[in-house]
A and B are shown apart, each in its own frame.
Chain A
């Protein structure tokens, strides 16, 4: 988040000042007006543009860019947020290199770099939110009397809740944490977005008429039966559970921590520091592992290695992220299968031993090998099924589960991106309106973007 007064909300104001993420500065700072207009003017304004096809939510990208170029920033933000209510965080965290920017026709011309779509999108939304003008940007329909509960306050839920609220549905979001936003708040690499950015977006969603109840855990504080009784429909956007573990000797004890847990501490824990850490290892080949390694390197850890069991070509993380990590000094240790955590005097972690006998010195090892599924929560709802991987089973077109009143979206379905979670949330919101008989306005934001 920029230093500008961006509708911070109560959550952002309460953030401790000494969070470690504050040391990691924005890699792509927000555009000044002149920069944005200059970049917008480079856009060819393609017809049937491939960038729109590449956007999971189907934002009218040439349309919103042209509005920036003409100085209609408010119209630009409206165009973005209609198709993607979380257009702000998506502008900052989307892997645009493999989505809209990767599809830009300029890639096939090689005369000029592709349009910086993410940065333009951030400029438009941030400018409008900064002016405090977002609350009147999208107008809501009259109350319908229908009530929907959303489980989890991550991107999928926030999107579904916002779209439903705009059509006059009374939505309550239940979040077990004290802070809303899901992984946007707890898990985004700080050089892409700080916690305050996510919380500002949460406030925008709240301004659409959504009630967000934090510190309420469904399954404990409120039962699924309560929700099914009190609400006309339930939306499940629980995300994923804790970091997975390797199950090898020496794993328990100080110095070994899960990747999402570590990133969360980095972003939110007061006074969290990397005291005495000069050698760090991150196990895993996905984007969370790469994020953790880049954060370590950017925080000044001298020796950061990613430990991956196969070769680089097999890494599920993005090549452009791994390339950025390499440039920041992160080394990749390929074909490395962890066998044991080596601990010295007092149980202090000293190294990671691999199956082939190699030993890699380490002061801290971060496990970025995936997260547990929250199958147990989902299956407490009658009729809701999970597959063999623990992912919630839904109808592709609607996001509806085996229970006609229960819908689901987001990482719990196996997705990985904020932007796909938003699209699934929008899809579920459309389906919920259909099931509840809510008349969706002809110009309703939920109609915008891809089907």
Chain B
């Protein structure tokens, strides 16, 4: 079985699965229950001067019945006394010495940073995480994302924490910024030993169309919150990878954003994360989800012949390039398995209305000189075999692809509800690699029909 243990800037953890600083890590009781279930670490809910929260503070984005595809909160940092939190942190670390216990912090003045850093380090915690990301409530008070969005302020405040800390300091970055490197590079320069990202995205989750108040409704009003959950994963993956591939980022990364399964975690790790942090999925299903995260990641690594999760780290980074370095001769086409096709025609209408209309029904004729990737004879035979019990022949709705027209865009495979019915097949046929940047270098990058040609035509007409 593969070794899942990690060393994150000297912080050791039996597996890369940490709970993010959020409601799940509000109390010692919760964190200990999570550790009992197998979580490798926890980042305590942000300490600072206790706040007052509103009643009604979460909102959910549901998609076609799927709950919490996205999640939004207007909750602030801890509302518990500092002394109580610190006592519980000390107790947790004493009881679970092999787990990573990290304390998230957010205060304002240098003096406050000095005192809270020292008090936190005194608990025996493994590290600190500076919350420079919270995009609601706290930022209006000059903290959270207000710090993370200003590189100079970030560097200054981070410097204070680094100065007073004797344990590794991680900086949690906000995605509410144009280029994540603008925050990541100064954070490293300030002495951070690790970066965590992404914090939540500034958001309004929806609107109550009867009351005309955005969600979550607090009395007759609402406010912007922080957005997280499965829907933010692609944004987080990109930001993690953008840091991981940059040579100036010399510290480990803790990936956060929509991670719910071992597969999500593996993707973050493959794009350069050392640990991952989870919140929304735990809030949706409870701490028990970590069991399959551990089990699934181990099985995956074993299947790939990797003896440690560290072998996975950054494996997909070399393949993450600029658009200009992609191979323009790479050619894929869609293949439809007529046996699996149920005739819903979702691919047909998607391709017809929004792509190139290369998908046709069984009875449609193939254009002269074109090649079909799914032979009509095979379709007819398959349809005959699959005649349903109700006597409905689905042959008229089984689709086929005009390969000569297919641009290999993946849309049909994305909309198809049946697993493995539409596959995208490599038809490159040994064409040599050539990227857009290659064409620029060779001066062969002119595409006919552009403005230059258009102007020539206009001149000729005059």
Which residues of A come within 8 Å of B, CB atoms?
37-38, 41-42, 44-50, 54, 69, 97-98, 102-103, 105-109
Contacts and interface: CB of A to CB of B under 8 A. Distances in A.
B67 to A, nearest CB: 11
A299 B65 CA distance: 39
B389 A107 contact: yes
A105 B344 contact: yes
A421 to B, nearest CB: 22
A431 B344 CA distance: 34
A102 B348 CA distance: 22
Interface string B338-353: 0000111110110000
B418 A109 contact: yes
A46 B398 CA distance: 12
A206 B134 CA distance: 61
Contacts of B346: 44-47
Nearest to B390: A102
B392 A50 contact: yes
B423 interface: no
B65 A46 contact: no
A103 B343 CA distance: 11
A48 B345 contact: yes
Interface string B384-427: 00101110101001000000000000000000011000000000
Point out which of A42, A47, A48, A102 has the most chain B C-beta atoms below 10 A from its C-beta. Answer: A47
B64 interface: yes
Given A105-B394, A109-B418, A46 B389 contact: no
A295 to B, nearest CB: 26
Interface string B213-246: 0000000000000000000000000000000000
Contacts of B388: 102, 107-108
A108 B65 contact: no
Contacts of A41: 64-65
Nearest to B418: A109
Given A42-B65, A102-B390, 20 more contacts: A37-B65, A41-B64, A44-B344, A44-B346, A45-B346, A46-B343, A47-B346, A48-B348, A48-B349, A48-B397, A54-B392, A69-B64, A69-B65, A97-B390, A103-B390, A105-B397, A107-B388, A108-B343, A108-B386, A108-B394
A409 B205 CA distance: 53
Interface size class of B (residues with CB under 8 A): 10 to 19
Given A38-B65, A98-B390, A105-B394, A47 B348 contact: yes
6 contacts: A41-B64, A50-B397, A69-B64, A98-B390, A107-B392, A109-B418
Contacts of A106: 342
A155 B416 CA distance: 40
Contacts of A38: 65
Contact of B343 (A42, A45, A50, A98): A50
Nearest to A99: B390
A49 B346 CA distance: 10
- List the 6 closest A-B pairs by CB distance, nearest first: A41-B65, A102-B390, A47-B349, A47-B345, A105-B342, A46-B344
Nearest to B347: A47
A108 B348 contact: no
A108 B342 contact: yes
A290 B342 CA distance: 33
B345 A102 contact: no
Nearest to B341: A108
Contacts of B397: 48, 50, 105
A407 B322 CA distance: 71
A32 to B, nearest CB: 15
Contacts of B390: 97-98, 102-103, 107
A189 to B, nearest CB: 22
Given A45-B346, A109-B342, A50 B65 contact: no
Nearest to A62: B344
Of the listed residues A38, A42, A44, the one surrounded by the most CB atoms of chain B closer than 10 A to its CB is: A44
Instruction: Among B65, B342, B344, find the residue whose CB has the most chain A CB atoms closer than 10 A.
Output: B344
Contact of A105 (B64, B343, B348): B343
Contact of B345 (A37, A46, A69, A108): A46
A38 B65 CA distance: 6
Interface in B365-393: 386, 388-390, 392
Contacts of B418: 109
Interface string B55-70: 0000000001100000
B442 to A, nearest CB: 44
